[in-house]
Amino acid sequence: MPPNTTASTGQQPGKSGRKKGRRARLFVIVLVLAVVAGVTGGAYWSISTVRASFPQTKGSITLDGLSGPVDVKRDGYGIPQIYASSDEDLFMAQGFVQAQDRFYEMDVRRHMTSGRLSEMFGKSQVDNDEFLRTLGWNRVAEEEYEKTLSPSTKKYLQAYAKGVNAYLDGKANKDISLEYAALGFANDYKPQKWTPVDSIAWLKAMAWDLRGNMQDEIDRALMTSRLGPKEIQDLYPDYPYGRNKTIVQAGQYDEVTKTFEQGSASSAGSSADSSTSGTGTAAGSDGAGLQSQLSGLQDALDDLPTAVGVNGNGIGSNSWVVGGKYTITGKPLLANDPHLSASLPSVWYQMGLHCRSVSSKCQYDASGYTFAGMPGVVIGHNQNISWGMTNSGVDVTDLYLEKLSGDGYLYDGKTRPFTKREETIKVAGGAPKKIVVRETDNGPLLSDRSSELVKVGKKATVDTAAPDRGDGYGISLRWTALQAGTTMDAVFAMDKAKNWNDFRAAGALFDVPSQNLIYADTEGNIGYTLPGRIPTRPQGYDGSVPAPGWDSKSRWTGYIDDDELPYEYNPSRGYIVTANQAVVDKAKYPYTLTTDWGYGARSQRITDLIQSKIDDGGKISTEDMRQMQLDNSSEIAKLLVPKLLKIDIDDKNVRDAQELLEGWDYTQDADSAAAAYFNSVWRNILKLAFGNKLPKELRVKGQCLWVDPVNTTGPADDTDKVRECGERDADQAQPDGGDRWFEVVRSLMDDEKSDWWTTPKNGTRPAATDRDGLFKRAMIDARWELTAKLGKDIDTWSWGRLHRLFLKNQTLGTDGPGFLQYALNRGPWKLSGGEATVNASGWNAAGGYGVVWVPSMRMVVNLGDLDKSKWINLTGASGHAYNAHYTDQTDKWADGELLDWSFSNDAVDESTSDTLVLKP
């Protein structure tokens, strides 16, 4: 039975000795800046200072190292199209141009990926650097550059770095970006030269934020302090295979004869159904030790800067492709919109990379989205094919509870020595700090990075099922991205792929992070492939909770072979949809890819929209694809609203709010009062039914409850209750309201007397003992919550007033003095859309209504006429505040508009506003 809880009306909690500043704080010179601004601000922030770093976009510049002239043509949005006569010139120019627009962003990113933020921002970043050095992204990137990448990839990386450094050559800090001008008040920091490894390491940051189910693994283990196995299972229901279609429905997992139907869940690896006893070993052996370790690990994860995503549940992406049979053009249409955390500038950079004449000397003619700091095009099209990506969500990380003893760790009854390395962290304005990174055979000891974790590991209690405690416990991480890989090779291979076979071969190199890759070509073919280095586990272990590191039987057994990974090519249904749902039906595939798919709300809605158009006999256009991307329909509203309208409400004010739902079409437009009220009801249902019953480690920091003490059976007297306050950041807390929670509520709807539907009285708010009683309470609470936030007059309510997007510079705009935040940040925008909606402007129901992640870009590629393709970015091409292209796409993005996407020489020339010639 879920524990009995009562809302606290007491004082908000203090820090209680917990580590301060749990979110990344990249601003450490606030006091200095504030003082200088007060004295000399007016003189310093002159127009010349602001404009000093704006890029030259006309005329010519001489660059040492070019073999011939390169043209950089920018359109009215500052998006560059580069024309060169050799591969090396093309990528050198790419490095130069990206540095012109985004070098500060690139510099911060490389300091993050290498664990060197303290060099720029001082001692506040030491903890983050220690954790990132322990992960060792930069070390793995160095190994990739030296050992696994192809000679051609190395050559392109070198050319790119040469272009970046050509931009930096001879420039003062203030001529690079406004942020460096601000940093100049506090230190004498000078950017170092760019290296090929700096580009490769960014892929590790991308992999970290798209790493799969690690957060679910932590959450499930933390839940055991207050919930039993049945309750935890309620909160992680099975994927609804019968209702929400998988990506691959009739495909193969090799290119010859093996179909899914020939596999079985027990034939290899492990299955979710057979894993319960094995995965419970670590937690069952030392519940208290594991709880303490994972709670501390969560603190460390909360602190880390976000790279490209949000370290939580619910985030995802959409991509789909429709074959020519069902399109107006008779050729495929391909759409993609990755959902990532909002950042300023956008994580994406739009550009075209064109060889004047495609040949063995110059092989590329591609256009699309890439990352500032990385050569090539990551998502987009070339003259023959187009491709898109969504996160596959396959499980490529496992946490291990390690038994530590002396200078080693236990493994099959014997003590093994740690692998060690020493790291020196340089600190701006302070003394360097040395740390020792220890690794087991499973991976680095993340728990070493917190003195609190080390302490609780030594105090952890054990039972007879675990080995003697000795020096305590630690947590290690095994992750595929900590092995040298070939993803950088994959980027260049996709950029020049001519057909499906080329594309699959390129995809096979895309080992980390594992992505759903969709495909279309100008010949009319469509396809899907799942690449990636995906581990297999022994029987009894499925990666859903931490495993016992001291038992060799818990180790990975290998990796799924490339020719056994799922794919589809020209399926008879005529389209393919990927939106983070299950890739394959687990009953028809021999390996467990993960136990934590997205639950398919978005993917099924996209499928239904496509199929509805087909069933009506219509042909799908580029505009239809755009409209699908903007679909705001709420799947959970369709389930709940009919029930909510049947509930008898006494209070006229609440009844007025209830009437907003009558006739509502479940569409979450920014101006909808009904959407505002429903989402508040949904948030309160989740809080009352589930959130108040979760352990403090999953609840929002500062939200306090009176609860039964842990390890009590049945409700306690009010005098026995203890006050517990949440510990997690608002955008990471649970229940987040994503489509897993849709499925949780759906599965409990018919059990009207479930213990989950109970909640105690709170002040004048009634207690609930069944489903409709809890729904009624949520409707009351929602009415008064919105009265406080939006006013008593419901005619003034709108979803957009609650659901707002703020774009913040991820360093100096996060916690700086007001004048600098004003200079660097933008917003708010009132957005349509919502959680697990196709137009996925995500919000965390535990923390509030503000936008947490967004469609970071949108594109629709027309394979019948590439010049009729469309695209948009979240912000703009420039990373320079007050540049015309800083956020010049954001208003159109918020309105759901797409820009013309020129590709052919004639179309690019017609759209060109500025031309810069780079001369050797």
Range with the lowest mean pLDDT among 75-84, 299-308, 390-399?
A: 299-308
For the whole prediction, is pTM greater than 0.85? Answer: yes
- pLDDT tens across 75-85, in order? 999 999 999 99
Higher pLDDT, 314 or 133: 133
Higher pLDDT, 305 or 580: 580
Whether the per-residue pLDDT at 167 is higher than 70: the answer is yes
CB atoms < 10 A from the CB of 17, how many? Answer: 7
Whether the per-residue pLDDT at 295 is higher than 80: the answer is no
Sign of torsion over alpha carbons 597, 598, 603, 605: positive
Range with the lowest mean pLDDT among 220-234, 524-538, 563-577, 673-687?
A: 220-234
Please state the φ and ψ torsions of residue 807, each to the nearest 5 degrees: -100, 120
Please state the φ and ψ torsions of residue 437, each to the nearest 5 degrees: -95, 125
Six-digit token string for 218: 């932590």
Sign of torsion over alpha carbons 282, 221, 11, 769: negative
- pLDDT tens across 481-507, in order? 999 999 999 999 999 999 999 999 999
Six-digit token string for 627: 């409209």
- C-alpha to C-alpha distance for 30 and 628, rounded to whole angstroms: 44
Q: CA 122, 126, 132 angle in degrees (round to 5)? A: 125
pLDDT > 70: percent of the chain: 84
**pLDDT (average), residues 272-284:** 36
DSSP state of 866: G
**pLDDT (average), residues 440-449:** 90
Per-residue model confidence (pLDDT) at position 298: 66
Q: Is the Cβ–Cβ distance between 103 and 113 less than 8 Å?
A: no
**pLDDT (average), residues 508-522:** 95
Range with the lowest mean pLDDT among 136-145, 313-322, 593-602?
A: 313-322
- Nearest to 689, CA basis, from 142, 144, 235: 235
- pLDDT tens across 729-763, in order? 898 899 999 999 999 999 999 999 999 999 999 99
- C-alpha to C-alpha distance for 56 and 75, rounded to whole angstroms: 14
Q: How confident is the model at residue 207 (pLDDT cuts 50, 70, 90)?
A: confident
At position 603, the amino acid (one-letter code) is S
Whether the per-residue pLDDT at 272 is higher than 60: the answer is no
Q: Is the Cβ–Cβ distance between 902 and 866 less than 8 Å?
A: no
Tokens 């006229």, residue located: 652
- C-alpha to C-alpha distance for 576 and 320, rounded to whole angstroms: 6
Please state the φ and ψ torsions of residue 864, each to the nearest 5 degrees: -80, -30
Residue 567: helix, strand or coil by DSSP?
Answer: strand
Tokens 């959409």, residue located: 318
Q: How confident is the model at residue 314 (pLDDT cuts 50, 70, 90)?
A: very low
- Distances in whole angstroms, Cα of residue 125 to Cα of each of 130, 239, 638, 682, 729: 9, 40, 46, 38, 18
Whether the per-residue pLDDT at 461 is higher than 50: the answer is no
Per-residue model confidence (pLDDT) at position 242: 94
- pLDDT tens across 111-127, in order? 999 999 999 988 988 98
- pLDDT tens across 887-916, in order? 999 999 999 999 999 999 999 999 999 999
